[in-house]
Every structure is written in C-alpha cells, then in structure tokens.
C-alpha cells in the first residue's frame, strides 16, 4: 500500500515554537489541521502565534481556501492522529518522551500515513524503536520560522523504507519546502552540526571578553551571513580562491586549520557566561517584544527570499537549486 502523499488533513503534536510553525505553514497551504498539546493554555498560545505569523503568510500568498479557522485543537493524541493524512510531532527534545509518544502515535494512526518528527538531533532508529510499522517513520527537521524557511532535513532510521523517505520529500515539497535527504543517520544531522560549531565559538568569544553578543551578530549579518543565503560555504570559498578556485583556496587557507583558530570544545556554561549572554541579547532586543521581533524577522526573510528568487531567475537558476 503506497504512503499517503496527497494531504487534506495535517496532524501536529506539540504546538510550541516549531509545532505552531508547521501548523501555520499547513494552514497557509489550504489544509485542515488537527493539533494536540497537553500543556494548559496551549490552544490560546497557539492561536496567538498563528495570528502573529499570518500577515507574513498573506504577503507570501495563501492557497485557495486557506484559513486560520481550519485549525481544530483536539483533546487527545488519538483524536489528533486517527484521521490524519500526515503526522508531524514537535514535542520536547527528550528521548524517552519521544519513544513513548511515537509508540502511541503509530498505534493510533492509519497504516499508510507517514509520521515525521521535528527533532533537532535525536536518532530516528532510537526513538522509533517501539513504533508500529516503523517503515513509515522518519525525521523531518525544520528551521524556525517553519512557515517561511524552506529547508527541511529528512532522515530515515534503520527501519525506515526508502519509499517513505521519498514520499515524505514529496509531501514537504507540496508544502512549499526544500527537503534535503540526510543520507546517514548522524547526531545533529547536517545543519545543526554546522550551526553548533559556530555557536560554540560565539560563546567562547563572549566568555573570553573578545566581543559582545551584538558585535558577534554584526560579524555574521554584515558579512558571511549575506553570502550564506545564496551560496553556502563551499561555493563562497571557491570564489575566494580567485580564478584558480577551490584548489588554490585550500592551499592558501589550509595551514590555518593546523593553528587552529577555533576551540572545537564548547566552553563551560558558567552562571557568569549565561548572564553575559542573556544581558547582551536583552540589550540587542531593546524595547521590542518577541512578537514584534518575529514580525520584523518575517518581513526581512520575505524580502531576502523574494530577492534571491528574482536574482536566481535572472541568472537561469531554479529557486531550489
């Protein structure tokens, strides 16, 4: 029996930052959404998050019939998944919780329905161990805000069927995403491993008094961050090698890898370091609320995505290239 790839109803378990992002994306694509979260007040918090995201989604373009009213918050895990055409779990990042949750989700779901987890780095072979029909279980790791950023890393576990990975890629594409199949099941997958390496160094720079949190953010957003959004690291460095390209770049900067410039090990998270990071970012945040900053971020992202889409078209690239 083929996996379901044409969706009418999307189920979301866990409606925090990431779950709400999935729900906003699914609603904007004209789907019915069933949501469940055990926390008191979760429905009101979710609806507020969706409302905050909606102007950006309207600006990006809603599918016919898309409406916030098509979200139904239900009282149990089983009610959430029983009728769903696709299931996405975004519960807290704890292995034993995910194991228990996926045993229940997979027992209640229809057999040919795919089950994705938003986990940032837990291994699917581990948390799908007790799942019913684990061949349809996989990771679909998104990025915040899920309703605007296209990337989703798709990772299968030891028991996941290759056809399920393909089917999930099709589903995520139908939601306007750019799926990336992570071919080996490694902790942190691809993107978070890269981001965490940068994060470790950023914490060292604060800890050593080299720079404030704001200065470190400036170092990214006025330089490398601009390049990353359309070229990534490898292609950027190819250009850094001049006409001789990557081979010259490797020869020129290879020796620096032996120095080395970076620590690799994370610094100890002392109270003093945590305070410095929290105080630094509070200063950067200023008087603006998180919701205001989210709307600012969304507008910037829409502008960047629009500019990249337009420029790629001009140079003969497809958006997903």
Binding site for ligand NAD (CB under 6 A): 13-19, 37-39, 42, 90-93, 97, 101, 118-120, 141-142, 144
Q: Which residue is nearest to ligand NAD (CB)?
A: 16
Query: What is the rounded distance in angstroms from the CA atom of residue 147 to the CA atom of residue 23?
Result: 8
Nearer to ligand NAD, 15 or 52 (CB): 15
Nearer to ligand NAD, 85 or 89 (CB): 89
Backbone angles phi, psi at 164, to 5 degrees: -70, -40
Nearest to 269 by CA among 259, 261, 277: 277
Backbone angles phi, psi at 156, to 5 degrees: -95, 155
- Between vectors from CA 308 to CA 67 and to CA 23, what angle results, nearest 5°? 25
Taking the complex as a whole, the smallest distance from the CB of residue 51 to ligand NAD amounts, in Å, to 17
Query: What is the rounded distance in angstroms from the CA atom of residue 254 to the CA atom of residue 248?
Result: 10
Taking the complex as a whole, the smallest distance from the CB of residue 237 to ligand NAD amounts, in Å, to 27
271 burial (CB, 10 Å; 0-12 / 13-18 / 19+) is exposed
Taking the complex as a whole, the smallest distance from the CB of residue 236 to ligand NAD amounts, in Å, to 24
Taking the complex as a whole, the smallest distance from the CB of residue 225 to ligand NAD amounts, in Å, to 17
Name the token pair of 194: 């890269």
Nearer to ligand NAD, 115 or 249 (CB): 115
Nearer to ligand NAD, 296 or 317 (CB): 296
Name the token pair of 256: 């620096």
- Between vectors from CA 257 to CA 253 and to CA 259, what angle results, nearest 5°? 110
Distance of CA 172 to the CA centre of its chain: 12
Peptide bond into 145 cis (omega under 30): yes
DSSP string, 64-108: TT--GGGEEE-SSHHHHHTT-SEEEE---S-HHHHHHHHHHHHHH
Nearer to ligand NAD, 152 or 249 (CB): 152
Nearer to ligand NAD, 119 or 212 (CB): 119
Facing residues of 114 across strands? 86
Taking the complex as a whole, the smallest distance from the CB of residue 100 to ligand NAD amounts, in Å, to 8
Nearer to ligand NAD, 121 or 241 (CB): 121
Peptide bond into 231 cis (omega under 30): no
Taking the complex as a whole, the smallest distance from the CB of residue 113 to ligand NAD amounts, in Å, to 18
Taking the complex as a whole, the smallest distance from the CB of residue 126 to ligand NAD amounts, in Å, to 13
Nearer to ligand NAD, 87 or 205 (CB): 87
């Amino acid at each position: 029996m083929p996996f379901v790839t044409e969706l009418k109803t999307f189920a979301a378990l866990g409606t925090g930052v990431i779950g709400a992002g999935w729900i906003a994306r699914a609603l904007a694509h004209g789907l019915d959404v069933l949501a469940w979260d055990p926390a008191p007040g979760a429905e009101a918090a979710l609806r507020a998050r969706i409302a905050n995201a909606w102007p950006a989604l309207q600006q990006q373009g809603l599918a016919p019939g898309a409406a916030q009213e098509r979200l139904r918050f239900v009282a149990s895990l089983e009610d959430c998944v029983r009728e769903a055409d696709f299931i996405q779990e975004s519960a807290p990042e704890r292995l034993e919780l995910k194991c228990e949750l996926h045993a229940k989700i997979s027992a209640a779901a229809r057999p040919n329905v795919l089950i994705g987890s938003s986990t940032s780095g837990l291994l699917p072979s581990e948390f799908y161990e007790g799942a019913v029909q684990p061949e349809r279980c996989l990771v679909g790791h998104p990025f915040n805000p899920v309703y605007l950023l296209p990337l989703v890393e798709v990772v299968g576990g030891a028991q996941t069927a290759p056809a399920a990975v393909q089917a999930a890629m099709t589903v995520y594409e139908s939601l306007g995403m750019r799926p990336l199949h992570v071919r080996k099941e490694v902790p942190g997958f691809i993107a978070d491993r890269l981001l965490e390496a940068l994060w470790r160094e950023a914490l060292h720079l604060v800890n050593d008094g080299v720079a404030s949190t704001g200065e470190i953010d400036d170092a990214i957003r006025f330089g490398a961050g601009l390049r990353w959004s359309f070229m990534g690291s490898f292609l950027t460095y190819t250009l850094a090698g001049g006409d001789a390209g990557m081979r010259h770049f490797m020869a020129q900067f290879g020796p620096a890898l032996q120095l080395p410039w970076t620590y690799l090990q994370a610094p100890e998270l002392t109270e003093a370091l945590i305070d410095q990071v929290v105080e630094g970012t509070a200063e950067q945040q200023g008087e603006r609320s998180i919701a205001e900053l989210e709307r600012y971020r969304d507008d910037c992202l829409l502008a960047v995505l629009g500019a990249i889409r337009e420029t790629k078209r001009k140079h003969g690239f497809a958006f997903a290239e």
